[in-house]
Chains A and B, each alone.
Chain A
Amino acid sequence: MAKILDQPRYKCALAAMQTVQAIPGAIPILHSGPGCAAKLNDNNGTSGRYSPNIFPCTSISEKEVVFGGSNKLRSTIENALKVIDADLFVVLSGCTGEIIGDDIEEVAGNFANAEKPVIWAKTPGFKGNNYVGHDWILKSIFEQYLAEAEPEKEKGLVNLFVAPPQQDPYWLGNLREIESLLTAIGLKPNTIFGFGRGLDNLKKIPNAEFTILVSPWAGLESAKYLQSRFGIPLLQYPVLPIGASETTKFLRTVQDFTGIDKGLVERVIAEKEAEFYYYIERFADTLLETRILGKRFTVVSDSEYTIAVTKFLVNDMGLFPEKLFIVDDAPKAFQQKITDEVNNLNYGIKTEVQFTTDGHDIHEQIKDFDFAGTPLIIGSNWEKKLAAELGAHYVNVSYPMLEKLVINDHIAGYSGGLHLLEQIFTAAMSKLKL
């Protein structure tokens, strides 16, 4: 059913073309209108080897709406293979192609013997947003690209997936940080996104001993697929670990799940925690003795960050959550679990959680909260104006992010917690520095 989407904080399934774009060597071919990709490409960091100007596109026009677009798709794929120097072509369908009933599976199937692999995924915008589109695309890639051959298991190899590329502005920095944590405890993380990764790692996926998905719900279907097809045990860790408490918990959970050397894991934890608290101690006066940072905060973000930021601020920093807002259109089936997870906090601290896409209503509610001091609002660009109106401290961590640039920064892990603190206290200090 149609519903009000006011202050959009997600895009449509086709926007998960950015998941393909994040795999070096892979390029999407769009069976969509000419402007879909340009519109969906509203994040920074997308002018890599293949930007949307390079994505082959059938540019569906009235003619295809009337007569069908399969022929246009065929010629587009055929010529894309000649013009574009890529190693994997992923055909994605947008709304119009799906409504008029073009069969992209059949058309892509005609290229089964092409020099480069051509695979497909249905991603019409009306079927879901880019969090689910991300999952569908990964599953399609796993189904169609991974070889049938018997996997050669590699000791310690762990497939790692975190957040949808680009939708999470910190996607790559966080992924690298979690990779480095896993490496530190003796595992060999296998990721497919970003510099130096790509198709070789993708091919290695079946060889992994485990898959770790750090996500409350997005990406679960594709990760489970790896479990069912290749028998790779899946650890779904629903909290993006930020700061000491949660990162330590994460590493212990990974140790428990994989059975790796407990002594090593505990040594790494001890050292990382000590380092984290070295900084906290040095800056404790700054953190504690500001006159204008209260104890209460709210988060308006996707499931991932609402859980992650809340855990960090409550369990590491001693703050309290006001009502929280989850804006990623998380499927009903996951909502209770997410609510329970957010409320699993120190000292039995609880808060209300609302799943909504009505940004205006969210802001009206926040205006009525009693923050008992200067409010702290963690959210997206949409919260900037609200924060200004309330005189609140404000940090943008999630999409849309328009007035802030993240290149390879991270807020996950021990050091990520410090980075998030830098941003919160920069906001506070820019208001009043005594």
Chain B
Amino acid sequence: MAGLDEGAPLFVQIAERLADEIADGALAEGDRVPSTNELAAYYRINPATAAKGISMLTDDGLLEKRRGIGMFVAAGAKARLLAERRKRFAERYVEPLVAEAGRLGINADELIALIRESSYMQKGTGI
């Protein structure tokens, strides 16, 4: 189980890994995604588990099947993934950040300054 250990069901982790690759462009639209057998061999998991992960993304319309050839990243998949992640950004990252800052007595201005500083350090994030 190469690198899969986060406790979520394995097929969900497979789906998330692939979604990450689509979101950051490693898998571009129209690219063929690894087959279930390739995924099974790489992650050392049962092929049925890999197939479940793939079908999660197919159900979401992020992957499409081309008969006899394999599964491919669907048109518009990256934009849709990014839009969905932006929607969840505040809930997943900002709210816990603000809460922890509050516990540590860091006020909003200081927090914003810290974010600017970090953004400056990691140049190119465009904030």
Whether chains A and B associate is: no
